[in-house]
Each structure stands twice: as structure tokens, then as C-alpha cells.
Structure 1
Amino acid sequence: MKLQLTSLFLGLAATVVSAQEQLQTGPFSLHITGKGENSSIDGYAGSCHAGAAIEGFCYSAGELPAGSNSFQYYFNYTNGSSTIGDAPIGQVIWKLPYLNGTEQAYVEQTMGLQYSVNSNVAAPMFGFGSYSYLPLGFDADGKLFAYSYLDDSTFTPGQNPGQGAEPKAYYQWYVCWQYFTSYYYQSVGWSTTDTPHNPTCEAVDITQVFATS
């Protein structure tokens, strides 16, 4: 009987692992375009140096630089992850290059948000620090969104906001001049409310683009 139970538990564990298999898409680039009618923003996101094994999420105007690892991103998710429609929720990844002896190797860094206490604009960052996890997805048009199922502007006293809540996609991306870790870059920002505190911010769309062969 013990052997049968053990076999059952092992089978269930294998099923759970299989159901949550880690999947990855990429590499792809991220095209940034301004939402304003007269916007001049048209370029690509690129990982920019912001310290030891820390990268910002910078804006680079113009054409996509050919063959640059700084402009290549990946999307990690599980086949049992949350979704909005058919869009899985996961994490945007950049692969930090390093030398393993004499061989080129890469380590994955997950996008998170670095907040400032006196601003409603957070800076997406890649690193190994304690950045706030950012659940993300790509919609049917390839546009990058952040995911949440709670909106505190709708909260009422004593009523659990999680009951019957529906997940929603948010597109509060901006390109701003931002200061972080002693660097001042024109980079992607995430506004936690509709109007950014930073006056240099301009609303943008960020679209996933796969290379064509």
C-alpha cells in the first residue's frame, strides 16, 4: 500500500511539473512608437548600463542596430500561467553576456520596476536586485502590457476587492528622461497613474517584433 501511495504522489508531482512547464519565446526586439499625433518617438528599447550587472530599459531612436544583444529580449511563461484572452502572463527577460572561462555565456535577468518615493513614474530595470516583479504579456497586436486584477480606485470599506475581480491589461508606458543609479537616460518609464509626475514623459506603445528570415 505504501508503494502504491508513493507511486501515486510521484505521478501527481510529475503532472504538476508538466502542467507548469517553463516556456520561452524569442529573441525579439521591442519597437517603441509615440502615441501622440505629432510624436517624434520611433525607435527601439535597448538594455543600457546602469551599474554592475544592472541595466536600464533605454530608448534608442531610429533603426534597430543589427546583431546587438542589447536589443534582444525574451518572454518567459508557463503553460499553466494566467492569461488575458489568449495572451499568457509572464516575464520579459534580457540575457546578460559574460565570459565562462574563454567561452561566451549568458545569464537571464528579469524586468522589474525601480520606484522613487516622490514620483509616480517607475523605471523598468534588469538585474539581480530587489526590483518589484512586473507581470507582463503581449496582446493580439504584439503590444506589451502589464497585468493586474485589482484597481484600488474602486475599493470600498470592508469589501474584499478580490471577489469577482477580472484581470485587466494596462498600457501605461512612457519614454522619459530618468535618473537612476547615477545615470540620466532617455528610457522607458511606467506611470502608476494616468498623468506622469515627470514632465519629460511622452506616452508610447511598445510592440514585439520578431526577425524575419
Structure 2
Amino acid sequence: MKSTLVASLLAIATSTALAQYTNQTAPFNLVVLSKNETYNGTTLLACHEGAGIEGLCLTSTLTGTGLTGSTFNFNTSTYGQYNLNPAIGEQGYLTYLLRGGNFNESEAFSLYYSATSNVALPLFEGTQGTLVAFDEHNLLNIQGYVDDRLPPPYNGTFTAYYRWYACQTYFTGYTYTTLAWVTGKYHPQNPTCEKVKVKRVFI
């Protein structure tokens, strides 16, 4: 009985939280900034990584002509963010509209973690997502207030992190050069990874 009640409350809390992120920006592209000439200026494309699953591929690394980046939106909460720092941006959900033959589904950006790697793979799948933000320069970041490099790990102040890389990645049979996120302060263990920044450019 108790476990059923707890599960129900968690489900209600989750659905309520998702329903609050209804303030949506105008559509935009995501542009990669890099010292690598092949990557610099390329746009990110929502590329197929499985049934109803999209990664973020760099268009300059894909075969074919005329490839352009996908269109994305950013949803923030109707209630705003606690302790908002405008310089690093309000947190919300990066979304992509997957269009099928008889459906349109808004998917949220989330990070897929592997227990054997410090490189996480950004994916669009379903409605559960990872909170991200765009700073005053429209650069994509992920924020946190826990820093376990020094005790105590809790510092109570949101800090923006920009741990984006372009890497050759593998997921469910698909190998691409995609955007990736490195967990922690150290270099990615994937030797193909190169540091990049990701900028929002409104259409």
C-alpha cells in the first residue's frame, strides 16, 4: 500500500513538473564552434539512432549534399527558476519535434550514460529530459550546484559547465560523429573527441 502511494505521488510530481515547462522560444539551429575547421560552423542534425531515438550529428561529417541542421526549441518553466543567474541562463528543456507518417512527437534532450565511459551521449527520446541552459552569449551549458572535488561537495551556487565535445560515438548499431558530453573535469577517454562549443542561432 505504502509503495503504491509513493509511486503514485512520484508519477504526479513528474507529470506536474513536465507540464510546467510550457514557455517555448522561437525555433533555432545549434551551431558548433571549434578550432577544427571541419567542425567549426557546422550545424547539428537530429540523426536516427534507433526507433524514435535521435542523436545530434555534425552535418559536416555526414555524406550527402545539402544537409542542413535540425530545428530545435527551448522550453522553460512558467514558474521561473530559483536563484536565476541571467549570465548563465535559465534552465529548461531542449526539444526536437519528431515528425512521422501519422504523428508529431516533441522529444526532450537527455544524456545517455555508460558505466564504462566518461563520455555521455545526447539523445532525444520521449519526454523525460536533462535540464540545460543558454547563457548570455547563447552558448549551451549544463548547470549544477554540487562540486565534489572539494569537501563539502555542496556549494549551493549554480555553476555553468561547457563540457561539449565532438566524438565518434556508437549507439544501438549506429556510428556517427556526434555531440557528446564529458562527465567530470577530466579529458574524455574516447580519443576521437575534440572540444567544441554549441551556440543557439535563431531562425
Distance, in Å, in 1 between the alignment partners of 2:121 and 2:21 is 30
Is 2:52 aligned against 1:53? yes
Relative distance call for 1:21 and 1:199 in structure 2 (3 A) is closer
Distance, in Å, in 2 between the alignment partners of 1:125 and 1:154 is 31
Whether the 8 Å contact between 2:21 and 2:75 is mirrored in structure 1 is no
Residues 11-66 of structure 1, C-alpha deviations (whole Å, 9 max, x = no match):
xxxxxx9xx572001310000011x3x5532201110001110111111129xx58
Is 2:151 aligned against 1:155? yes
Is 2:131 aligned against 1:139? no
Q: 1:204 aligns to what?
A: 196
Distance, in Å, in 1 between the alignment partners of 2:191 and 2:44 is 21
Is 2:108 aligned against 1:110? yes
Residues 160-190 of structure 1, C-alpha deviations (whole Å, 9 max, x = no match):
x44x510010000000000111110100000
Relative distance call for 1:48 and 1:21 in structure 2 (3 A) is closer
- Number of aligned residue pairs: give it: 177
Q: 1:13 aligns to what?
A: none
Residues 72-131 of structure 1, C-alpha deviations (whole Å, 9 max, x = no match):
00001113232332621001000010233xxxx5211000011112110000001128x7
Q: 1:89 aligns to what?
A: 91
TM norm structure 2: 0.79
Q: Which runs of 5+ in 1 are unaligned?
A: 1-16
Alignment of structure 1 residues 1-213 onto 2, 5 Å: 22-34=22-34, 36=35, 39-42=37-40, 43-61=42-60, 71-82=70-81, 83-85=84-86, 87-100=89-102, 105-128=103-126, 133-156=129-152, 161-162=153-154, 165-193=156-184, 194-211=186-203
Relative distance call for 1:140 and 1:118 in structure 2 (3 A) is same
Which structure has the larger Rg? 1
TM norm structure 1: 0.75
Distance, in Å, in 1 between the alignment partners of 2:74 and 2:25 is 5
Relative distance call for 1:59 and 1:140 in structure 2 (3 A) is same
User: Aligned Cα RMSD in Å?
Assistant: 2.4
Offset of 1:154 from its aligned partner?
Answer: 2.0
Distance, in Å, in 1 between the alignment partners of 2:70 and 2:32 is 12
